């Protein structure tokens, strides 16, 4: 399955949308939440409506959380937009919030799990009508839990979230979950490790904050595709000949490698 890369653009910098679209990202998310100060939000909504009126491509919008006053103003703005592909709902806590939003705007919803309540309710959220995919956030959740970001404890919690998101997404026929942002956009090695990690978890893509992250993520995912192609060549040769020792592209293949290829192909199929 093709991995989907989302790139955030601050709603205060709508002039950056064309560059973001040229970056190779699959989908653009205009950020009306964290990227905009409260006293600027109304002016930014006005600018967003003007942007939408001449937009030649669809885009996603991260709105404000449903418990805020800004949320209702965001909904009113959304109803005047013609090129909106979908909405990212931050700090989602239950299915009712997703379904209420979807009912009002009739577009797909990405539910962001960023609170302890949301984390506890992933199974419930996954049943939401109108839900397209789930993702998660780090900072707000770690602050609420009192866990230091980057600690071993935080890594364990994030992996629990990843596992829960994956299990309940599959169980409810949703798209695979989307990995959260990798904030250190100058840390290429860290980003590569992050991509390998979420890819191993069966996630369907990632939220990104800088255009230069796109190339790195694509490179790591291409390595995965090359590995899969190698596994396919191994298993095809084994099925055709029955041999347990042979060469593929100058590389020796034996029975353990055949078992590896079979396992990888089954995993990719599932």
Q: How many CA atoms lie within 13 A of 158 on its CB side?
A: 25
CA–CA distance, 192 with 118 (Å, rounded to integer) = 28
**Cα 159–163–166 angle (5° rounding)?**
135
Contact 30, 61 (CB under 8 A): yes
- Residue 204 CB contacts under 8 Å (≥ 6 apart), including other chains: 1, 3, 4, 133, 175, 176, 177, 178
Pairing status of strand 251-253 against strand 246-248:
antiparallel
In this structure, how many other beta carbons lie within 10 angstroms of the beta carbon of residue 97?
22
* Cβ-based neighbours of 45, under 8 Å, separated by 6 or more: 32, 73, 74, 77
Rounded CA-CA distance 181/206 in Å is 7
* Residue showing tokens 């347990």: 244
CA separation for the pair 218, 157 (Å, rounded):
27
In this structure, are residues 25 and 237 in contact, taking their beta carbons and an 8 Å threshold?
no
Is 114 annotated as ligand-binding?
Answer: yes
Q: Is 140 annotated as a binding residue?
A: yes
The tokens describing 93, both together, are 């806590």
Binding site, by residue number, is 62, 114, 140
Binding site for Mg(2+), by residue number, is 114, 140
Binding site for substrate, by residue number, is 62, 114
């Amino acid at each position: 399955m093709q991995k989907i890369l989302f790139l955030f653009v601050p709603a205060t910098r709508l002039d950056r949308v064309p560059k973001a679209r040229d970056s190779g990202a699959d989908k653009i998310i205009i950020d009306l939440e964290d990227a905009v100060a409260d006293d600027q939000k109304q002016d930014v909504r006005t600018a967003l409506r003007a942007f939408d009126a001449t937009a030649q491509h669809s885009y996603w919008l991260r709105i404000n959380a449903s418990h805020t006053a800004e949320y209702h103003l965001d909904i009113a703005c959304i109803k005047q937009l013609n090129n909106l592909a979908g909405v990212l709902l931050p700090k989602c806590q239950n299915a009712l919030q997703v379904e209420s939003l979807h009912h009002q705007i009739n577009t797909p919803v990405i539910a962001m799990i960023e609170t302890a309540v949301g984390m506890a309710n992933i199974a419930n959220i996954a049943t939401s009508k109108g839900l397209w995919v789930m993702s998660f956030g780090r900072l707000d959740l770690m602050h609420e839990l009192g866990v230091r970001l980057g600690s071993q404890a935080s890594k364990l919690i994030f992996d629990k979230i990843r596992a829960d998101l994956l299990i309940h997404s599959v169980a409810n026929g949703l798209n695979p979950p989307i990995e959260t942002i990798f904030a250190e956009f100058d840390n290429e090695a860290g980003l590569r490790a992050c991509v390998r990690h979420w890819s191993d978890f069966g996630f369907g893509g990632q939220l990104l904050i800088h255009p230069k992250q796109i190339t790195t993520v694509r490179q790591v995912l291409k390595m995965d595709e090359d590995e899969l192609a190698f596994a396919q060549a191994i298993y095809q040769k084994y099925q055709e000949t029955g041999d347990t020792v042979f060469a593929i592209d100058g590389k020796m293949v034996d029975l353990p490698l055949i078992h590896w290829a079979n396992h990888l192909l089954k995993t990719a199929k599932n």
